[in-house]
Amino acid sequence: MGYRGYGLPMAEVISEGNVGLMQAVKKFDPDKGFRLATYAMWWIRAAIQEYILRSWSLVKLGTTAAQKKLFFNLRRLKGEMQALEEGDLKPEQARLIAEKLNVTEDEVYSMNGRMSGSDASLNVPMGTDGDMEWQDWLADDEPGTAETFANRQEMDARMELLTQAMSELSEREQHILTERRLIDEPKTLEELSEQYGVSRERIRQIEVRAFEKLQKTMKRLAKEQGLPVGA
């Protein structure tokens, strides 16, 4: 009955305690000289606490032994300090709880905040008629199927225009423009000048001229094909 304050059905808590009792009976060794009741108490308590940790919140709580101890003792310690009705703990209260349970003050503040609130279902009805749910108000920032399909079509069309426009450049212009602007790790003017045996300034001039020609060709082709003319 000491676990009534967690808002879970007592029948379920008792059922979990019965599971712990069955485990205790299964593992009990009378030759060690202990009473079954003493041995079973620990199994029953462990089963109930595991059930509460699993069911109390959608967010996983108490992954370490110290955090589990904090979860099951925080309310009692707050009661002793007469701080049950308070929201945030005072610094001296958090420090005292942390010292008693061997956890950090940050863990105390975090657990207190999580235990002070409660999970809310996205399917809770809203309004007087109850024809709307909380999830109906959630905005999806991701593009819809139609928008994604349209963007993919536009991208495919632009890639086709780029391929057609590139074919109207000379072989050297295509290579320099590709190496300078169309690959993940562009080559430097120095590298290309050594490859072609010309100055870096000459490579820069060829790149700029090829890019201007490419833009003009893509705009012309887009206009001819009735596609949006980009920059």
Closest CA to 45 of 78, 13, 6, 7: 13
Q: How far is 45 from 51, CA to CA, in rounded Å?
A: 10
Q: What percent of the chain lies above the pLDDT cut of 70? A: 75
**What mean pLDDT comes out for the span 216-229?**
79
Count each helix (H run) and each strand (E run) in the chain, helices first.
9, 2
d(CA 168, CA 164): 7
Q: Is the pLDDT of residue 231 over 50?
A: no
Cα distance between residue 31 and residue 97, in whole Å: 40
What does the block give as tokens for 6? 């967690």
pLDDT for the residue 208: 92
Could you tell me which of 204, 218, 201 has the C-alpha nearest to residue 173? 204
Lowest mean pLDDT among 15-19, 67-71, 106-110: 67-71
Bridge partner list, 218: none
pLDDT, average across residues 184-209? 91
- Higher local confidence (pLDDT), 217 or 125: 217
pLDDT at 197: 92
Q: Select the more confidently predicted residue: 198 or 4.
A: 198
Q: For the residues 47-76, what does the mean pLDDT come to?
A: 69
Question: Residue 217 pLDDT more than 50?
Answer: yes
- What global pTM score does this model have? 0.38
